[in-house]
């Protein structure tokens, strides 16, 4: 069980770190449709829907037939996996195939998002993954899918402000305690739901087998994705705030708030696993994660950082206006710079435009930065 706890903890830290990194680096307008900006109302809806979904699943798995539910949940999860693959592949495929704005290419409005013709490649690439998921119940395969979903969720879900993120963390702190300690809801759902919403590892080495079924929960120690995704979204916001300070204010804060919170998350996971090992009872992991993250964040802000830095962090608003603009044909032109030329004057002129400082500059100019700073201070 100790080995299981160590592996689960290391996996959680790795997923949070990876998701936070991608949420900072992959600000691409081509994937804007996938991103969910959580303001006050959005965070409230997320909390209400999470509660309703958890209770609804508990009622279904406890009181009603369970033969239809797995099929419905698998179908929904196939949709999630498909969106995940499109989100990962669209920017790279688009820039390598097209050389003009995305608005000039075939688009198909599907509910709340646009699909491009190039997305057919992503859909084709996703089909083997969907088939493996649909027909496999192997715990290793399901762990890999759960890990991908965790990274995808951290990347696309974004709190708008630190205040909203902190309040949401506190709300889920009590949510986790109530549903784990005072009701059987959380543990029952976690054990009976067989879609990839948890990372599992065999309790004992003698039960370690690559052929074990993911649904055989009695053999596993598990960690729910909620204990990875929610802290990951919070830490990703801190990483973007830190990047904002560095790019617009030329301020590098020490110690790094992002790294400090990743360390705090690691410590909280270790504490949770130790308590689990001692009491042999399921634990609300957010009980340990939330205090560690919030105490680290606000402790550093008020004890180590100056008042100006603290005010910028508290007033920071995360939105899509800071996204790097689409640069038509960037991938093709980069290959041309390495020696692939077509010999046409028009292409050379296009290269000059694309590679000029004005075309590739992704940081705001001094005047834009000052305007942004004044707006932020207001």
* Catalytic hit among 119, 227, 308, 338: 227
Provide the pLDDT for residue 368.
Answer: 41
Is the per-residue pLDDT at 13 higher than 50? yes
Q: DSSP 3-state assignment of 361?
A: coil
User: Percentage of residues in the chain with pLDDT exceeding 90?
Assistant: 24
Provide the pLDDT for residue 30.
Answer: 62
Q: What is the mean pLDDT of the chain?
A: 77
> Looking at residues 8-16, what average pLDDT do you find?
94
> Looking at residues 302-307, what average pLDDT do you find?
85
pTM for the structure as a whole: 0.77
92-143 tens-digit pLDDT: 777 676 655 555 454 554 555 567 777 778 888 888 888 888 888 888 888 9
* Catalytic hit among 176, 206, 319, 322: 176
Residue 159's φ and ψ, nearest 5 degrees, are -70, 145
- Mean pLDDT lowest for which of 186-200, 284-298, 354-368? 354-368
119 is catalytic: no
Q: DSSP 3-state assignment of 213?
A: strand
Provide the pLDDT for residue 297.
Answer: 94
d(Cα 196, Cα 206) in Å, to the nearest integer? 24
176 is catalytic: yes
Dihedral, CA of residue 303, residue 305, residue 309 and residue 311, to nearest 10 = 0
- Mean pLDDT lowest for which of 43-47, 146-150, 248-252? 248-252
- Mean pLDDT lowest for which of 72-86, 309-323, 363-377? 363-377
> Looking at residues 343-360, what average pLDDT do you find?
37
Is the distance from CB of 11 to CB of 282 less than 8 angstroms? Answer: no
Is the distance from CB of 175 to CB of 50 less than 8 angstroms? Answer: yes
Provide the pLDDT for residue 131.
Answer: 87
Give 95-102 contacts, CB < 8 A, sequence gap 24+: 95/327, 95/329, 95/330, 95/331, 95/332, 96/331, 96/332, 98/328, 98/329, 99/328, 99/329, 99/332, 100/328, 100/329, 101/326, 101/328, 102/29, 102/30, 102/326
């Amino acid at each position: 069980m100790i080995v299981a706890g160590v592996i689960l903890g290391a996996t959680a830290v790795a997923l949070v770190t990876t998701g936070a990194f991608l949420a900072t680096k992959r600000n691409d307008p081509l994937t804007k449709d996938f991103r969910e900006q959580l303001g006050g109302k959005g965070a409230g809806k997320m909390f209400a829907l999470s509660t309703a979904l958890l209770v609804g699943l508990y009622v279904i798995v406890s009181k009603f037939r369970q033969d239809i539910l797995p099929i419905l949940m698998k179908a929904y999860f196939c949709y999630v996996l498909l969106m995940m693959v499109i989100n990962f592949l669209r920017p790279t495929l688009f820039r390598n195939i097209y050389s003009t704005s995305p608005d000039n290419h075939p688009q198909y409005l599907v509910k709340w998002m646009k699909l491009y013709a190039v997305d057919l490649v992503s859909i084709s690439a996703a089909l083997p993954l969907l088939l493996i998921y649909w027909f496999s119940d192997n715990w290793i395969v399901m762990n890999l899918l759960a890990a991908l979903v965790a990274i995808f969720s951290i990347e696309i879900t974004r709190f708008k402000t630190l205040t909203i993120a902190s309040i949401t963390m506190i709300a889920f702190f009590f949510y986790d305690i109530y549903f784990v300690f005072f009701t059987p809801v959380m543990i029952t759902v976690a054990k009976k739901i067989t879609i990839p919403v948890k990372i599992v590892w065999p309790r004992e080495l003698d039960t370690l087998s690559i052929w074990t079924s993911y649904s055989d929960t009695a053999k596993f120690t598990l960690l729910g994705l909620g204990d990875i995704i929610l802290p990951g979204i919070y830490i990703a916001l801190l990483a973007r705030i830190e990047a904002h300070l560095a790019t617009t204010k030329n301020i590098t804060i020490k110690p790094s708030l992002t790294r400090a919170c990743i360390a705090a998350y690691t410590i909280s996971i270790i504490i949770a696993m130790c308590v689990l090992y001692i009491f042999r009872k399921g634990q609300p992991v957010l009980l340990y994660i939330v205090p560690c993250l919030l105490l680290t964040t606000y402790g550093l802000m008020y004890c180590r950082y100056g008042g100006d830095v603290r005010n910028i962090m508290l007033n920071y608003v995360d939105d899509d206006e800071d996204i790097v603009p689409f640069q038509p044909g960037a991938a093709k032109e980069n290959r041309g710079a390495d020696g692939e030329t077509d010999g046409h004057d028009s292409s050379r002129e296009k290269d000059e435009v694309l590679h000029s400082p004005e075309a590739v500059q992704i940081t705001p100019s001094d005047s834009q930065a000052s305007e942004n700073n004044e707006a932020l201070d207001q």
